[in-house]
Structure 1
Amino acid sequence: MSSATSPKQRPQEDHHDHDDIVYPQTIPFILVHLACFAAVWTGVTWEAVVIGITLYWVRMFGITAGYHRYFSHRSYATSRAFQFILACLAQSTAQKSVLWWAAKHRHHHLFSDTEHDAHSPRHDGFLFAHVGWIFSRRHDTADLVKVGDFTKYPELMWLHKYELAPAAVLALITFLVGGWPGLVVGFFWSTVAVYHATFCINSLAHVHGSKRYVTGDDSRNNWLLAFFTMGEGWHNNHHAYQASVRQGFRWWEIDPTFYIIKVLSWVGIVWDLKSPPEAVLRNEQRLGSRVIDRAAGDLVATFNIESISTKLNHALETTPSLADLRARLSAAENKAHEVLVQVQLPHLPTREEVWARAASMFAKTRSLDDIVERAHRMILEAVGTRLAIAGH
């Protein structure tokens, strides 16, 4: 995820994401927000408020159980008919098609909080991660290869083509039931509320909260977000075991989406609910190599490699007893770290120092030694390469 000195720079074509906003496509999004102010003229009725509150929670379930846990992660199985119902319910939120949403989310998990993530506050800033990314040209279309398990269904492809159809139908229904207040308050207010509650998982849940697991990214558990998103706020849990239908891993971590899915399983509407292994629940699982590499990169980034290299280079130049080491580093070239690992030098972090920093930086994990070993090697590689180059 990170080089030895700083996060990798995006490829050249990605440098100007913030300048690559598809401004015409922001107009409908802005109009939805502006439509909320029409309540000044339509008034706010109790009926419209009830419609809005109901639609918020029902459609939030469409996002959490549909867009996310089913279409993105396949955390449970269901029939083709209920699959279509979930897709329609999810798309009634006007957050594009289930195929687009799932493809982008699967990409997010592959590159979470790296320079290739679609919406990382670490690399792109909070506002872009919250909402700006969805208007970038490179995110306008979906990579359907990532969701090939669903493209075989014609009805889902139809919804992909006419992604706003469910939202338009729902808007019409709210108008017929509640009149103009039903449309403005019931539909538009709840739509905007659902928008930003959902977006907060991409932005706020990677900035504020606690980390129970080492996941190689910035995902966090946030109880307040969990309340407003029916369990999605247990985001660090989710990144620790993405396939789980349950995201609140502790009994006190409220997860209404899971409770509803569980009830649906009792009546046979859904089945094959996936659960996290006991080792994950106890935080005793071994981390994968990709997570270890990312965590090690984050750890290395806390050391000033340039400063360390400069000080060591000065020591090599001014200490006669180190003249042989300079020659060995130059001869070693790309394997200079193998030379450094055999010597003790001032300013060069020891493995014990790296371990102490890792212990204060990361949550409990059985793989801490692996992270430290990888980070220490990365530090030696980076410093060794700089010293070897300086010696030529």
Structure 2
Amino acid sequence: MTIANSTKPQINWVNTPFFIFLHLGALFALVPSNFSWNAVGVALFLYWVTGGLGITLGYHRLVTHRSFQTPKWLEYVLVFFGTLACQGGPIEWVGTHRMHHLHSDTEKDPHDSNQGFWWSHMGWLIYNSPTQPEIPRFTKDIVDDPVYQFLQKYFILIQFALAALLLALGGWSFVVWGVFVRIIWVYHCTWLVNSATHKFGYRTHESGDRSTNCWWVAVLVFGEGWHNNHHAFQYSARHGLEWWEIDLTWMTIQLLQALGLATNVKLADKKS
């Protein structure tokens, strides 16, 4: 999936129909025969696996920022979970996010919040991106890895495989809730980090951009809403730096650390 931003934007005719299809598919959750508590449970479980473990822990804190290290097998598992969030392949996601940090809230930022809430939330995704050719330059540590290449190339097919598994396990209700509703929910929760946490909340640090700490986004995305903290200390595995800034992903990293599965954990020096 192409990620977008352009001075003369042209609609991306891959992303746009795909997003429309997913949103329409999620509406089938309103059909009474598609509802079951088991299906809702599957959606919530996959929300945590794909959005919490996959995107937040794997794509973001582990791979994009290398704020801690894990055995390679665990890295691949977490990145696979991120692939199931259907937010593009891992190489594209990581490269785009690294560009965002380098050019945060400037014209070169793929989702520059100065262009408005809608643009930074999802508008940037439905236009062609002039930054796409730069992704290999920002992902030299993973771009030649065959596992990353496989997941980048086949992430859509992997989603179809998940849908087939859910269909076999629980019928169409599992597919509607576990694929369509869950993907749309994780999409908008993730996108709020680009939009809401550059507009709402408080600022503890001067980070050179418009990033904010927003508690309700932190609740939705497992601690990612402490975004001003993150932009001030991009290398830190912990984003919630005060006792009241609850960071579930940091708690997960602490658990992995206790199990010997997370090493070289980097933390912010709040005095700097």
Deviation digits for residues 234-290 of structure 1 (CA, Å, limit 9, x no counterpart):
00000000010000001111000110111012112221111112xxx24xx2xxxxx
Q: How does 1:109-188 map to 2 (within 5 A)?
A: 109-122=101-114, 124-138=115-129, 143-188=135-180
One-letter amino acid matched to 1:37: L
Following superposition, the deviation at residue 140 of structure 1 comes to 5.2
Identify the residue that residue 21 of structure 2 maps to in structure 1: 31
Q: How does 1:1-392 map to 2 (within 5 A)?
A: 14-17=6-9, 20-39=10-29, 40=31, 42-61=33-52, 62-122=54-114, 124-138=115-129, 143-277=135-269, 281-282=270-271, 285=272
Deviation digits for residues 108-143 of structure 1 (CA, Å, limit 9, x no counterpart):
001100121110221x22111111212322255661
Gaps of 5+ in 1: 1-12, 286-392
Aligned partners of 1:168, 1:24: CA distance in 2, in Å?
17
**Runs of 4+ in structure 1 over 4 Å off:** 139-142
Q: Could you tell which deviates more after superposition, 162-171 or 48-57?
A: 162-171
Following superposition, the deviation at residue 41 of structure 1 comes to 6.0
Following superposition, the deviation at residue 165 of structure 1 comes to 3.2
One-letter amino acid matched to 2:35: V
TM-score between the two structures when normalised by the length of structure 2:
0.93
Aligned partners of 1:173, 1:251: CA distance in 2, in Å?
41
One-letter amino acid matched to 2:62: Y
What is the aligned-residue identity percentage? 36
User: Looking at both structures, which has the greater relative contact order when contacts are Cα pairs under 8 Å and sequence separation is at least 6?
Assistant: 2
Aligned partners of 1:179, 1:270: CA distance in 2, in Å?
38
CA contact (8 A) 2:67 2:235 kept: yes
CA contact (8 A) 1:97 1:160 kept: yes
Q: RMSD between aligned alpha carbons? A: 1.6
Following superposition, the deviation at residue 147 of structure 1 comes to 0.8
TM-score between the two structures when normalised by the length of structure 1:
0.65
Alignment CA distance shift 1:38-1:141 (3 Å): farther
Q: Which has the larger radius of gyration?
A: 1
CA contact (8 A) 1:159 1:165 kept: no
One-letter amino acid matched to 2:50: R
More helix by share: 1
One-letter amino acid matched to 1:63: I
SS of corresponding position for 1:77: coil
SS of corresponding position for 1:114: coil
